[in-house]
């Protein structure tokens, strides 16, 4: 959902892009718009000075980089690996150490902005790494996003993204509660949405997810299962740093309850959190 449009933006900007994915259909789509398919991460690394990983979770990053036929098998001295996944900062640091042994650089550069941001090249990118490596990767990052921020050393980008997800999850919970309360109290939901979207409660998530919730559209731009993973990472980081995260822990439980709908429920968009609040309140926040 993310890597494919990002690859296309790089090609449109004039870069030669080589791709690998476990999903052959995705590789075929990339081939159509000019990417060169390969059969492994190692083969991609052999012909690339900059390699980007964009996968769901920490184990997937480890497998893509250090697994059988992984990137590290083909990477050259002086190349840079940019991990744009949302994973544990500790995993990122571990990968950086492994790649350093090959003479290759590593930066963590997770993104926020969803599929729409990936398609339009307007992602916000949170970067961790040494200044020299980040500077070398900056031209590529600037194609993929319009707000690139160097947060600090390796691991800082992943940490910033985890904190960002706390903001997003709490906001979605607030939107859901507000909509359900407005509905049960007899307000016109469209009028309510238009009013609050012009005030202090305005947010990017309200602008994007508010109309989706009101129309019952739970198509994923960012899946429930990925939000569940990100909140797990937040809880782990909170434990490691001794940070109290009471709101995050509660929202994580609300997201977990979505699984009660069935095995496919976690493939809905993250805005489906409202369904949990609707069940608790016995009301639907729809127009």
Same domain, 145 and 168: no
DSSP output for 142-154: HHHEEEEEEEEST
Count of structural domains, the chain: 2
User: Is residue 148 domain-shared with residue 7, that is, in the same domain?
Assistant: yes
What six digits make up the tokens of 64?
């893509």
Question: What is d(CA 61, CA 63) in angstroms, rounded to the nearest whole number?
Answer: 5
Domain that holds residue 35: 3-153
Write down the pLDDT at residue 226: 97
Of 132, 153, 174, which closes a domain?
A: 153
194 and 110 within one domain: no
In degrees rounded to 5, what are phi and psi of residue 4?
A: -65, -55
Q: Is residue 149 part of a domain?
A: yes
Instruction: Locate 134 and state its tokens.
Output: 């980040």
The terminus-to-terminus CA distance of the chain in angstroms comes to 29
Q: What's the farthest any 2 CA atoms get from each other in the chain?
A: 65
Place of tokens 């500077």: 135
**Tokens standing for 30?**
């990339």
Q: Are residues 47 and 181 in the same domain?
A: no
Residue 111 inside a domain? The answer is yes
Q: Determine the 3-state secondary structure of 170 from DSSP.
A: helix
Q: Per residue in 21-42, pLDDT tens?
A: 999 999 999 999 999 999 999 9
**pLDDT tens track for 154-186:** 999 999 999 999 999 999 999 999 999 999 999
Indicate if 135 and 261 belong to the same structural domain: no
Together in a domain, 29 and 48: yes
Let me know if residue 98 belongs to a domain: yes
Residue 268 and residue 279 in contact, taking contact as beta carbons nearer than 8 Å: no
Contact 255, 235 (CB under 8 A): no
Task: Name the residues annotated as catalytic.
Answer: 161
Q: Please give the model's pTM, rounded to 2 decimal places.
A: 0.96
Concatenated DSSP letters of 67-134: STT-GGGT--TT-EEEE-S---HHHHHHHHHHHHTTT-EEEE--EESHHHHHHHT-EEEEEES-HHHH
Query: Are residues 110 and 192 located together in one domain of the fold?
Result: no
Q: What is the pLDDT along the chain (287 residues), one digit of tens a residue?
A: 999 999 999 999 999 999 999 999 999 999 999 999 999 999 999 999 999 999 999 999 999 999 999 999 999 999 999 999 999 999 999 999 999 999 999 999 999 999 999 999 999 999 999 999 999 999 999 999 999 999 999 999 999 999 999 999 999 999 999 999 999 999 999 999 999 999 999 999 999 999 999 999 999 999 999 999 999 999 999 999 999 999 999 999 999 999 999 999 999 999 999 999 999 999 999 99
CATH code of the domain in which 79 resides: 3.40.50.720
For residue 148, the cross-strand partners are 125
Task: Determine the pLDDT at residue 16.
Answer: 98
Per-residue pLDDT tens over the stretch 87-109: 999 999 999 999 999 999 999 99
CA distance 91 to 154: 10
Smallest Cα–Cα separation from 126: which of 143, 141, 106, 139? 141
Q: What is the DSSP letter of 14?
A: T
């Amino acid at each position: 959902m993310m890597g494919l449009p990002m690859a296309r933006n790089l090609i449109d900007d004039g870069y030669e892009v080589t791709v690998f994915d476990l999903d052959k259909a995705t590789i075929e789509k990339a081939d159509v718009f000019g990417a060169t398919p390969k059969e492994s991460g190692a083969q991609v690394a052999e012909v690339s000075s900059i390699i980007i990983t964009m996968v769901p979770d920490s184990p997937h990053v480890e497998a893509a980089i250090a697994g059988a036929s992984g990137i590290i098998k083909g990477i050259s001295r002086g190349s840079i690996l940019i991990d744009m996944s949302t994973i544990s900062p500790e995993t990122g640091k571990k990968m950086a150490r492994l790649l350093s042994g090959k003479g290759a650089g590593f930066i963590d550069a997770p993104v926020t902005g969803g599929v729409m941001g990936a398609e339009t090249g307007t992602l916000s990118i949170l970067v961790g790494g040494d200044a020299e490596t980040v500077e070398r990767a900056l031209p590529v990052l600037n194609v993929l996003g319009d707000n690139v921020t160097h947060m600090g050393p390796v691991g800082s980008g992943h940490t910033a993204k985890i904190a960002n997800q706390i903001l997003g999850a709490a906001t979605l919970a607030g939107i859901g509660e507000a909509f359900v309360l407005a509905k049960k109290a007899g307000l016109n939901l469209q009028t309510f949405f238009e009013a609050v979207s012009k005030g202090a409660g305005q947010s990017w998530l309200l602008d994007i997810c508010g109309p989706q919730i009101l129309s019952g559209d739970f198509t994923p731009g960012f899946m429930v299962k990925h939000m569940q993973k990100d909140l797990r990472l937040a809880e782990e980081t909170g434990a490691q740093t001794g940070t109290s995260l009471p709101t995050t822990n509660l929202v994580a439980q609300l997201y977990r309850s979505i699984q009660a709908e069935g095995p496919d429920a976690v493939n809905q968009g993250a805005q489906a959190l409202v369904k949990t609040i609707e069940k608790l309140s016995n009301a639907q926040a729809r127009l």
